[in-house]
Amino acid sequence: MLQNRCYLTTKQVAQRLNVGRTKFFESLSSGTFGVRPLRFGKKLLFDSAELDDYFETSKEKGRFLTADEWRNVKSGGKK
C-alpha cells in the first residue's frame, strides 16, 4: 500500500548520493543506477526501502549495481 511506504523524489535521492541532479539523471537513463522509479505524472518517486536494500547490496559488492544486476538480485538470481 502506498500510504505505508515512504517515497523519495529524484532531488532527495541525488542529495542522498551526494551528486547533482544532472549526474543522477545521467546514471538513471544510462542504466548505471539500478533502482527504477515510479512515475506520478511528471514526478519520479523512489521507494526508500528498495533504495536501502540497493545501497546495502551495492556496498557489499563494492560498487553500484546496474539496473540489470539489480533486477537479477531482486528476482532471486545469483550474479
- Give the span between the Cα atoms of 13 and 36, in whole angstroms: 12
What pLDDT digit, counting tens, does each position of 9-65 carry?
999 999 999 999 999 999 999 999 999 999 999 999 999 999 999 999 999 999 999
Q: Is there a contact between 16 and 52 (Cβ–Cβ < 8 Å)?
A: no
Residue 55: burial class (beta carbons within 10 Å; 0-12, 13-18, 19+): middle
Domain annotation for the chain: domains and CATH numbers: 2-74 (1.10.10)
Tell me the whole-structure pTM to 2 decimals.
Answer: 0.83
